[in-house]
Amino acid sequence: MPLIQDTAYPRLTASPGMAELAGFTPTAAEMAFVGGRTRRAGPRLALLVLLKTYQHLGYFVALGQVPPAIRDHLATVADLCEVLDTLPDYDSSTYRVRLTAAVRGFVGVSNDGPTIRRTAVRASVAAARARDEAASKRIHPRRRLMGSQGGRRGVSLRRVP
């Protein structure tokens, strides 16, 4: 059975090792982004945690569900340990919507419903056409012969030399 980390829905480990924590260390560009988008320390840490967990998982998680080791690591690196207690408060605030929008903008992911829907419809139509073409090439040889001779009963299926 595959490990949960190997599935389509990765999760945060409860007690990550040093190597995994190193993957959560923000770069200088990420720190500049976080510093430029927020003025206060609480939202800055919330934005940093959302950014790094989104990059790691590909989806947003509740700040209260992020393992303490990861939160502590990010707070220590960003020198924001004094606001670590207020982090879960941002889960229920409307400020979270703005923070997630900022992360999407930084990462380059769109949340525009109509655009996403058009892209999905185009991809679905292209996939359906490709599937139909492949299916038409796999018609049974006997049916292909019957179809070419009008599909009448009693037609011999022997090859004519």
Number of domains, the chain = 2
* Shared-domain flag, residues 100 and 53: yes
Where would I find the H helices in the chain? 18-22, 28-37, 41-57, 68-78, 95-107, 113-136, 141-148
Dist CA 70 CA 90 (whole Å): 17
Domain that includes residue 119, residue range: 113-148
Q: Can you give the pLDDT at residue 134?
A: 67
pLDDT at residue 4 tops 70 = no
Nearest to 21 by CA among 12, 33, 11: 12
Nearest to 52 by CA among 21, 79, 80, 76: 21
Q: What is the pTM of this model?
A: 0.66
Q: pLDDT class for 58, splitting at 50, 70, 90?
A: confident
pLDDT at residue 11 tops 70 = yes
Q: Can you give the pLDDT at residue 14?
A: 82
Tokens (6 digits) for 142: 């006997």
> Is residue 156 situated within a structural domain?
no
* Shared-domain flag, residues 21 and 60: yes
Share of the chain above pLDDT 90, in %: 28
* Shared-domain flag, residues 54 and 130: no
Burial of 65 (0-12, 13-18, 19+ CB in 10 A): exposed
Q: Can you give the pLDDT at residue 17?
A: 85
> Is residue 154 situated within a structural domain?
no
Long-range Cβ contacts of 60-64 (<8 Å, 24+ apart): 60/100, 60/103, 61/12, 62/88, 62/91, 63/87, 63/88, 63/90, 63/91, 64/88, 64/91
Within 13 A of 32's CA, how many CA atoms are on the CB side? 3
What does pLDDT average to over the chain?
81
Q: Can you give the pLDDT at residue 34?
A: 92
17 vs 111, more confident: 17
CA distances (Å), origin 15, targets 48, 59, 69, 108, 154:
19, 20, 7, 29, 74
Output phi, psi for 87, to 5 deg: -55, -45
* Shared-domain flag, residues 83 and 11: yes
How large is the average pLDDT for residues 21-35?
91
Tokens (6 digits) for 25: 């260390």
pLDDT at residue 49 tops 60 = yes
* Shared-domain flag, residues 92 and 123: no
How large is the average pLDDT for residues 100-112?
85
Share of the chain above pLDDT 70, in %: 78
Amino acid at 74: L
For 60-83, the pLDDT digits (tens) are 899 988 999 999 999 999 999 898
* Shared-domain flag, residues 16 and 36: yes
